[in-house]
A and B are shown apart, each in its own frame.
Chain A
């Protein structure tokens, strides 16, 4: 491969500057700020800060509510990921079978990803409203069947469904692309070998989709840890009784409502390392097992 080199370093610097600037302003600067806060006692109204060492982290990690939040986040991540990947896979499999009009269907199925999280939250808040939405009919038949305002489990389920719905489109695109890149002759060979449609899906298409599946899995899990803020904020505000107080949302609540900057900063550092660790572990140890040849 031929590489192009810039003779003049100034031009090279100029070309990469905007990108570096963006990364600096939106990643390194806030991250370093958070790090600074996490290791100091930050005054709510400004003023001098005092070096705290690991005191902020100790305080958080010994707080039972923080561990509750971690537990809820893991349930949310698992639930939303399984649900959205499952739905996306089913949709992609049908789209891949090229039912009539699948091209329009494909475009239609991609739309939800373009909808902002708070909008998704609002829409689902209406759908799952126990007295006005679709669930109100169910409640009329079985009083008390659905009540996300008072019942924490219901609230969490509601948030999981909304989060999954938003993610389905993204997963669908990748699954469909993955399925379509499987050579037709493999599926035809399967048909000649006597396998039914379902059998071919199980023995040929799904195993060959494994690399895509893995990639989508990593993206979904990390996303559900970091990108769930909008949905929680519009749908439940973390309630009832902190039942949907996911880690990202707790950072916001502690920091901007409780004005505990140091604690919030420490939490965001923990979350950041959690996401990094998850990604590294998954790429290191799982990805190896899903490659052929």
Chain B
């Protein structure tokens, strides 16, 4: 068991810097998910923790020891690779036991341990097969078993589920969480699938082009996204954004189509005249008669999602979606009113994209915590 401390870590390939000074602490036994789009530097960061990639600047320590100059085998991390990295010429049992063999454990003891671990992930029937004779899900299990058997201080996962089909992915996700609850190893899990991240994480790290935009519990990240980027990335269907300006006299956000969204007067005063992006999640709004709600749009098309439906509207040329479980019918071009839950407004500075808190109480609550 160990904590991981990442301080001002940078990574450059030649002249290109791809990680720009990242700070992150992973506590003992915590399951942290690094989430971000393709190419944002998730794998690079993970591989620097593992020791597979040199650290260009800053410091990484595991259990209080700076590991910058340590070989992977001296760091006590186990890693599950995206393509599993199973040794094709070894049987399942040999794959799982390889780390112990390298460590010099005696054969009878080793085999016993391999059997126990294989059993715990449901592989006992396949011990003598080669990886090429296994299904994707079984290979995934071998990769997990290979990591578990070492009883590592730190568990690293680089998109381990992305090669599986949707159903198996969900199943393996649950299994990983179950394993984590059992062995409680400090874990860092990289993914670009937000559902995977949300369900697995104790805390999430949202990365954006080589920097960290936000660190928080899945709830925090969903309810209080720190930047426009995080707001747009987390949540599906994605959040809607409308441009506007804060008016202090009227305590409203004035939108392009002249509609007004009421906000707290002291917040309005503090940010008087600020140009903002107003964020509204499709699930935080309901449809109503035109003029009766906060916004009015023209109906574009409808998407059936089963238990609910997604209504695509156009508000002044800006596409806008509302999720509704009652499913009224509209014709293309019909005017539709939108009623927003004003307690769930998200407001971001138009220039810097940073969240502007509208609710005084929340600010007071948040400050001591930070």
Question: Is A196 engaged at the interface, CB distance under 8 Å to the other chain?
Answer: yes
Question: Is A189 engaged at the interface, CB distance under 8 Å to the other chain?
Answer: yes
Interface size counted on chain B using CB atoms at 8 A: 27
Question: Is A203 engaged at the interface, CB distance under 8 Å to the other chain?
Answer: yes
A199 CB contact (under 8 Å) in B71, B82, B88, B102: B102
A109 → chain B closest CB, angstroms: 26
Stretch from A18-26, A141-149, A180-188 forming part of the interface with B: A180-188
Q: Is the CB of A293 within 8 A of B130?
A: yes
Within 8 Å CB of A210, what residues of B?
89
Within 8 Å CB of A189, what residues of B?
79, 81, 85-87, 146
Q: Is the CB of B81 within 8 A of A185?
A: yes
A191 CB contact (under 8 Å) in B73, B84, B103, B133: B73
Residue pairs across A and B with CB atoms within 8 Å: the count is 68
Q: Is the CB of B102 within 8 A of A188?
A: no
Q: Is the CB of A191 within 8 A of B98?
A: no
Question: Is B259 engaged at the interface, CB distance under 8 Å to the other chain?
Answer: no
A186 CB contact (under 8 Å) in B77, B78, B85, B132: B85
Within 8 Å CB of B37, what residues of A?
none
Within 8 Å CB of B150, what residues of A?
193-194
A3 → chain B closest CB, angstroms: 30
A292 CB contact (under 8 Å) in B72, B98, B132: B132
Distance of A192 Cα from B53 Cα, bound (Å) = 12
With A186-B85, A192-B78, A208-B88 known as contacts, the answer to whether A203 contacts B132 (CB < 8 A) is no
Interface size counted on chain A using CB atoms at 8 A: 20
Q: Is the CB of A207 within 8 A of B89?
A: yes
Within 8 Å CB of B132, what residues of A?
292-293
Distance of A20 Cα from B307 Cα, bound (Å) = 71
Tell me the B47-82 residues at the A interface (CB within 8 Å). 50-52, 71-73, 77-79, 81-82
B254 → chain A closest CB, angstroms: 54
Question: Is A75 engaged at the interface, CB distance under 8 Å to the other chain?
Answer: no
With A185-B85, A208-B89 known as contacts, the answer to whether A192 contacts B79 (CB < 8 A) is yes
Question: Is A204 engaged at the interface, CB distance under 8 Å to the other chain?
Answer: yes
Tell me the A189-236 residues at the B interface (CB within 8 Å). 189-196, 199, 203-204, 207-208, 210
**Residue of B whose beta carbon sits closest to that of A208:** B89
A18 → chain B closest CB, angstroms: 42
Binding site for A on B (CB under 8 A): 50-52, 71-73, 77-79, 81-89, 98-99, 102-103, 130, 132-133, 146, 150
